[in-house]
Amino acid sequence: MDPRRVLRSSALVLAAAGVLLSGCTGGGSSPSASASTTGGSGSDAMSAPAAGLKPYYAQKLSWRDCGVPGFQCATLKAPLDYDKPGGDSIRLAVARKKATGPGKRLGSLQVNPGGPGGSAVGYLQAYAGIGYPAPVRARYDMVAMDPRGVARSEPVECLTAKEMDAYTQVDQTPDDAAEAARLSAAFKDFAAGCQKRSGKVLPHVSTVDAARDMDILRAVLGDKKLTYVGASYGTFLGATYAELFPARAGRLVLDGALDPSLSARALNRDQTEGFETAFQSFAADCVKRKDCPLGTTSTADASNRLKAFFAELDARPVPTGESRRLGESLATTGVLTAMYDEGAWPQLRTALTSAMNGDGAPLLALADTYYERDGDGSYANLMMANAAVNCLDAPPAFADPKAVESALPEFEKASPAFGRNFAWAALNCAYWPTPATGTPHRITAEGAPPILVVGTTRDPATPYKWSRSLAAQLSSGRLLTYDGDGHTAYGRGSDCVDTAINTYLLEGTVPPPAKRCR
């Protein structure tokens, strides 16, 4: 897996692969003492914005055609530094698709697909604006904003495409001190590139900053309260908004939740377990099929075969038909990409079979989907923005390679096949140039109306226990459980899930306690 854990909806991950139109933050950003300058939080959350922010809350969006039929685009301005609202501003890309009717318009529905680093505008145009259930699209203007530092919103830049190619191939399971030093050097070079190319914005891309931007957009759109669907990391963004502005929170759906109370190390370890659970589900299905490249005997044998295959690739990468060869790092990323949605399992079986027969191209294609690498070799800024936000939101999981080495047993216990990779992946923020501003903490959002948290029992990227925990932390949290595979649940084929969420969004009625869908 790539060292910058990405949490995003399966729709976003797999849309690029053509499988389905429909990762991990290091912890929670805490609202700073200056939160009141954003317009307030808690009991005074509905008060007028502070003087320095009034021009931002009073701005008018100039909508224009953005080249995608049915969608309009605009640019929102926000303070670069909320502690200095009179200083520089940042320009944020916004898109919408107006309510189609019939029925009375209910306002705007903001959406975010996760990441951090996933383009919300791209998600809206490729999926949410056309793929969300029709009754919801009929009553709401569907709206998305690329968070600061992401995609069209003054993106964080770190490495060139050629440098990214090299970076994604670095051995992420070092076998000795020399290999560990090379991995550390790669992390340092990546961080230095971010500082060089995007040093001005790096201190100002936290989740708290993005949540404050969402409140400006809410006001500018004319909505008294925020209606929102956030997937994966987007759940943390939504929960942070509720913490900052509980009285301005409306109907919030948090699908595939993060647990903001956990440290970066705990999050990475839990996610290791999550992907192992998902792999075991894939393996149980695979071994029943004659074409399973991991054998047809048992899930334990399948796991051992995969681990042995990774070791072979570590020693001898296979060709892909281009200059890049498929080594252990890219192969691991390709396998884990397919864990986001069970619809990708057939593709993974084919890709593993090809790689084991000496053709790494299909598995490389899955890894490229995860990294958002286009056919021309260019990369979206997903991985760069991901690191920038994660490393700002919480202190690093590990301080140095020795700390990683001491943690390897617990990570390998969590996943024999993926544990070493996940442990070493968590080292990247140790070298980040901008100190973390957030700390892990419980989010209660006292005073917010009912908030719907959705958890999938075999979710790889956001383990189900995280959704249970967040729903329990929130003073008004209500948990909806989907007993199934894949990452997130809304719009992925369960009529039970979709009906419960649609009812909440359209009528404000949360499902009954302990509601479970299959």
441 is catalytic: no
Q: Is the dihedral of CA 112, 114, 117, 123 positive or negative?
A: negative
Residue of 96, 139, 148, 91 lying closest to 119 (CA atoms): 148
Distance, CA of 517 to CA of 313 (rounded, Å): 40
Instruction: Kindly tell me the burial class for residue 44, based on how many C-beta atoms sit within 10 Å of its own C-beta (0-12, 13-18, 19 or more).
Output: exposed
The tokens of 337 are what?
A: 């990409």
145 in Cβ contact with 214 (< 8 Å): yes
Q: What is the dihedral of CA 389, 460, 120, 438, to 10 degrees?
A: -20
Sequence-separated (6 or more) residues with CB below 8 Å from residue 454: 253, 254, 255, 256, 257, 467, 479, 480, 481, 482, 488, 489, 490, 497, 501
Which residue is catalytic, options 9, 108, 184, 232?
232
171 is catalytic: no
- Taking CA 344 as the corner, what is the angle to CA 340 and CA 350, rounded to the nearest 5 degrees? 135
Q: Is the dihedral of CA 480, 484, 489, 494 positive or negative?
A: negative
Distance, CA of 86 to CA of 81 (rounded, Å): 9
Helix (H, G, I), strand (E, B) or coil at 76: strand
- For 95, phi then psi, to 5°, come to -135, 155
Which residue is catalytic, options 198, 270, 487, 498?
487
Distance, CA of 317 to CA of 326 (rounded, Å): 5
Distance, CA of 342 to CA of 335 (rounded, Å): 12
Sequence-separated (6 or more) residues with CB below 8 Å from residue 221: 61, 107, 108, 141, 143
Distance, CA of 102 to CA of 139 (rounded, Å): 7
Residue of 167, 114, 89 lying closest to 6 (CA atoms): 114
401 in Cβ contact with 427 (< 8 Å): yes
Which residue is catalytic, options 459, 467, 469, 476?
459
Beta-strand relationship, 64-65 and 72-79: antiparallel
32 is catalytic: no
Residue of 114, 161, 165, 111 lying closest to 133 (CA atoms): 111
Distance, CA of 497 to CA of 491 (rounded, Å): 8
Q: What is the dihedral of CA 76, 79, 81, 83, to 10 degrees?
A: -140
Catalytic residues: 232, 459, 487
